[in-house]
Chains A and B, each alone.
Chain A
Amino acid sequence: MKYSIAVYGGPYSHQATHTAYHFAQAVLAKGHNIQRVFFYHDGVYNASALVAPPQDESNLPKQWQTLAQDNSFELVVCIAAAVRRGILDENEAKRYSKPAANLEDNYQLSGLGQLVDAGLESDRLISFGP
């Protein structure tokens, strides 16, 4: 089956993205595909390239990035939620005259329509919130 996952919680503050990640791993281990992981609300913080956890703690942005690359699924971040929270790609950083961009590689900013689309195209859409 084709799965999509919505993540509404950021790394560290809440377990949501951790649960979502373990769930995603189990989905893939069972032989299913993941179409898209969509980050909304504080979930956009998972897309930060500046996350610097201690060595003995998880790095969810990197973990999602690796899992997505290895299993060919998309990491999509709601652009409206992201820019409000200071997660910007090069285009948005330029648009808002910000000193830097900080969107981690392989994540893309896009519209909320991608979440709707995931619900329509995937067999299952599961959300994880804070």
Chain B
Amino acid sequence: MSNTQSQVESDTGTETMSDMLIIFRKAPVGTSWAREAMDLALVSAAFGQKISLLFMGDGVFQLAQNQQPSAVEQKGTQAMMQALPMYDIEQIYVHQDSLDQRGMDSDQLHIDCQSLDSKALPGLLQQHKQVFNF
């Protein structure tokens, strides 16, 4: 399930670009970025855009299981992440080194992600017409 990829395969060939990549780099809960980034992902998908998500840096903490943001009266992004398939957002990537540095296991994330190694990151960005970074 979590074979780390060195290259991102695009389903229709190397010439095709996907519409939008959203990069999640901030830890959850401490700031509103995780929620605001996820809101943009869902709205963009509702607009018919083909969206990919990349979690890297502290953004991988957004994927941790068993988060209970209600303990500090915050809303998390757990429910939104579970809704991603309903919005046809299926290209969800996580940077393996970011997970490793933080002691996280790619098999124990809140949602299924495709693990990418660092070599695959430049190609991922190049494949998208617009990259949002939060």
- Which of A41, A119, A125, A127 has most chain B Cβ within 10 Å? A119
A87–B49 alpha-carbon span in the complex (Å): 29
1/0 per position for A27-43, CB-CB distance to B under 8 A? 00000000000001100
Q: Measured between alpha carbons, how far is A40 from B44 in the docked complex, in Å?
A: 15
Whether B39 is near chain A, meaning CB under 8 Å from some CB there, is yes
Cα A81 to Cα B31 with chains together (Å): 13
- Give min CB distance, A42 to chain B, whole Å: 9
Question: Is B20 touching A119 in the complex (CB atoms < 8 A)?
Answer: yes
* Contacts of A71-130 to chain B: CB distance below 8 A: 80-81, 111-113, 115-117, 119-120, 125, 127, 129
Kindly state whether residue B40 has any CB partner on chain A within 8 Å: yes
- Total interface residues on B, CB under 8 Å, equals 15
Contacting pair B40 A115 (CB below 8 A): yes
Residues of B contacting A125 in the complex (Cβ-Cβ under 8 angstroms):
130
Q: Determine the chain A residues whose CB is within 8 A of the CB of B20 once the complex forms.
A: 119
Query: Are A112 and B40 interface neighbours, CB within 8 A?
Result: yes
Expressed in whole angstroms, the Cα–Cα distance for A117 and B134 within the complex equals 18
Quick one: which of B1-51 are within 8 Å of A by CB? 20, 32-33, 36, 39-40, 43-44, 46-47, 49
Of B36, B49, B134, which is within 8 A of A81 by CB? B36
Residues of A within 8 A of B33 (CB): 41
Q: Which of B32, B36, B43, B134 contacts A113 (CB 8 A)?
A: B43
Further pairs besides A116-B44, A119-B20: 5, Cβ < 8 Å: A41-B32, A111-B43, A113-B47, A119-B130, A120-B47
A-B pairs with the 5 shortest C-beta distances?
Answer: A112-B43, A116-B44, A116-B47, A119-B130, A113-B43
A–B pairs, 14, beta carbons within 8 Å: A41-B32, A41-B33, A80-B39, A112-B39, A113-B43, A113-B46, A113-B47, A115-B40, A115-B43, A116-B43, A116-B44, A125-B130, A127-B133, A129-B134
